[in-house]
């Protein structure tokens, strides 16, 4: 094993979880996050020789991850736009939506999380996955800590309000 390989193995061990968690927070889908994390590490392996240490290693890894996620999001948007243009796919999606509707009215914290604006959803997901570290979330998302705190505060408030609304609805149904 040469030095590039051993460096890569160390990097993989240190960042595997972080890259997967950031990908998951940005994409909101485990399978896609795994696929993207794989792509990220492939890019890292190819570019390892070019890393000059101008930025910190974690900044470099997070930048590659965010770029890969943004590419994946663009691909998803394009695929979704193409699906919308196909009347057959639209009809099938609407049928599935109607079948799913009664189950989704149940209390589901992850569904509430999915309804939040993208920035709040990403920050909150990472916050709970990264041992509630504002610093880690800010580094991963590449935004100032103050911004992260604002997103998390707003996201938390929205979740609590959603939960209290659901409680009131539940009481009015049972009472």
What stretches of the chain adopt beta strand conformation (E)? none
Binding site for other proteins (CB under 8 A): 5, 8-9, 12-13, 16-17, 20-21, 24, 30, 33-34, 37-38, 41-43, 45-50, 64, 67, 109-110, 113, 124-125, 128-129, 132, 149, 153, 156-157, 159-160, 163-164, 167
Query: What are the b/e assignments for 59-92, b being 16+ CB within 10 Å?
Result: ebbbebbbebbeebbeeeeeeeeeeeeeeeeeee
**Distance of alpha carbon 64 from alpha carbon 16, whole angstroms:** 13
Q: Which is nearer to other proteins, 83 or 165 (CB)?
A: 165
CB of 113 to other proteins, least distance (A): 7
Q: Which two tokens stand for residue 21?
A: 């968690």
CB of 128 to other proteins, least distance (A): 5
CB of 172 to other proteins, least distance (A): 17
Q: Which is nearer to other proteins, 93 or 160 (CB)?
A: 160
- Count, residues in the chain: 175
């Amino acid at each position: 094993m040469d030095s590039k390989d051993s460096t890569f193995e160390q990097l993989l061990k240190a960042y595997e979880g972080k890259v997967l968690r950031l990908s998951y927070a940005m994409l909101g889908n485990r399978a896609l996050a795994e696929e993207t994390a794989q792509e990220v590490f492939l890019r890292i392996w190819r570019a390892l020789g070019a890393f000059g240490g101008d930025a910190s290693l974690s900044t470099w890894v997070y930048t590659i991850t965010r770029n890969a996620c943004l590419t994946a999001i663009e691909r998803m948007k394009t695929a979704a736009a193409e699906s919308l243009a196909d009347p057959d796919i639209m009809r099938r999606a609407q049928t599935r939506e109607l079948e799913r509707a009664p189950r989704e009215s149940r209390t589901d914290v992850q569904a509430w999380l999915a309804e939040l604006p993208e920035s709040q959803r990403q920050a909150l997901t990472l916050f709970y996955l990264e041992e509630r570290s504002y610093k880690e979330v800010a580094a991963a998302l590449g935004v100032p800590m103050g911004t992260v705190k604002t997103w998390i505060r707003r996201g938390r408030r929205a979740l609590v309000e959603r939960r209290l609304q659901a409680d009131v609805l539940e009481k009015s149904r049972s009472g």
